[in-house]
Amino acid sequence: MKLNKIARGCAAAATGAVLLMAGEAQAANWLMLQGTEPASAAGRAKVWGFIQAQYQHDFSDPNPKTGAYAPPKLIGPNLESQSAFNVNRARIGVRGQNFPLDAKTNYFFLAEFGNNAITQPGNAFAKITDASVTLNHIPGARVRVGLFKTPGAEEALQAIHVFDYINFTTVTNQLLLERNNSDNSGSASGPTGSSLNAFDESVSAVRDTGIQVFDTFKRGDWEHSYAFMVGNGNGLNFGDDNDAKDIYLYWSSEKVFGGKGPRRQGWKTFAWYQGGERQFDADSDGYAEYHDRTRYGVGTKYLKKPFRVTAEYMKGDGMIFVGPDKPNYAMVPPATNNPNHAGNGVDNSADGWYIEGGWYIPKTKWEIDLRYDVYNRLTDPMSTNAPFTADLETKFETLTVGAQYHFNKKTRVNMEYAFRDFNAINDPRAPNGNGPNDNLDGVDGRAAIQVTAVF
């Protein structure tokens, strides 16, 4: 299915809605909601959490030559079937402050028990996703230390239990949810210790262990927020796997119109940057090298009931995920020991964007959602020294139509259907059926339904 005409119409309609509604809006301040507690108002310990249970069915056809199903045609995290029931998230945590000892010191702890890319690698029973302490003693410079969400893209930074869709956009899934391995091909001075045939560690879940300085400044009905963070760049792992550190920068400005918490009304514009290095044996010589990894983006989020509109653009350079088992792959031999191969994602680039909107049907508990997202992968041809000149840029387009029914403020059901069109633009096709388009041919729609209950 070709989505260009439909997407252009949706984008134009959403842009028009923003212009018509200019003057009132909504977006939450995730830095403050996730990193601080209300001064002198929070309890010493508040137990909280949520459960998400779902069913998904993929309607894609197999590879026409091999009869196999590639990961885009299978349901995660196990990638073993095209339909599955799953408790994809089951999180429980505790948060609070040292009151009455010190109301300016608070903490945040959260653990994951569901079946997803956090717990599935290694079949972990549970995984700690957040464990941080925030010190609010310095005016204009709150300090947060530990493991927590990194400041960045709105789709990734927002709380997942109020996320308006079941599945992430492709750009967020592939560009920001970093895949990790316990041994990314050994150290820079030591030989490879892992075959990298599969990931054996949790997805990063856009989290890192480090220290963050942040705060929010209010000027009338405007709220400006910043964050500067230094982290290990090693995802949910408490320790570090190399000497390099990641830098995170974030800024947002929001015109606030009322409300509070995750559904607060306002119009927020934001920009962010993430930069660091990763070790990986890109040339298959048995020794890992350092490679730059940068991500950055801009966006705006707007909601004034009964309408909501969000738009965001992201770009990444280095360590581009292009396969189910490692951050680079080769389509046609001989690619071994050739870091300049066209299919190499280690030193390549990617970008993408999405625009989405929602309509809360007045005087009902129903909400209608519509989202269009595009992801362009391997946008830099790297075949200069390769034995062929193939450009393996791949374009992923998805149009998601959804609906939500809110039983109450803490329980809802999401229903969505995604129309997908994936295509390697200049794929020369391998005769054995291993070319990108051989695997992407037949990618079709995906239906999903999910119940969320917060406690």
Q: Are 117 and 202 in contact (CB under 8 A)?
A: yes
With pLDDT > 90 as the criterion, what percentage of the chain qualifies? 58
Interval 340-393: pLDDT, tens: 554 567 888 999 999 999 999 999 999 999 999 999 998 887 544 444 445 678
pLDDT(15) > 80: no
Please indicate whether residue 158 or residue 188 has the higher confidence score (pLDDT).
158
Q: Report the pLDDT averaged over residues 208-237.
A: 95
Query: Longest C-alpha distance within the chain, in Å?
Result: 71
**pLDDT value at residue 343:** 57
Q: Report the pLDDT averaged over residues 282-304.
A: 86
Interval 182-196: pLDDT, tens: 655 433 333 333 333
**pLDDT value at residue 133:** 97
Q: Report the pLDDT averaged over residues 15-42.
A: 61
Q: Report the pLDDT averaged over residues 2-7.
A: 51
**pLDDT value at residue 38:** 82
Angstrom CA distances, 292 to 151, 155, 217, stand at 19, 24, 33
* DSSP codes of every residue in 85-125: EEEEEEEEEEEEEETTTEEEEEEEEEEE-SSSTTTTTTT-S
**pLDDT value at residue 7:** 46
**Residue spans per domain, the chain:** 4-454
Q: Report the pLDDT averaged over residues 301-317.
A: 93
**pLDDT value at residue 2:** 54
SS3 assignment, position 17: helix
Element (H, E) at 173: helix 170-175
pLDDT(129) > 80: yes
SS3 assignment, position 60: coil
Cα separation, 114 vs 243, in Å, equals 32
pLDDT(75) > 80: yes
If you average pLDDT over every residue of the chain, what do you get? 84
Residues facing 451 on adjacent strands: 53, 413
**pLDDT value at residue 112:** 98
**pLDDT value at residue 336:** 45
**pLDDT value at residue 122:** 73
Interval 421-445: pLDDT, tens: 999 887 766 666 667 788 888 999 9
Architecture of the domain made up of 4-454: Beta Barrel (2.40)
Q: Report the pLDDT averaged over residues 241-251.
A: 94
Q: Report the pLDDT averaged over residues 34-42.
A: 80
**pLDDT value at residue 48:** 95
Interval 88-117: pLDDT, tens: 999 999 999 987 778 899 999 999 999 999
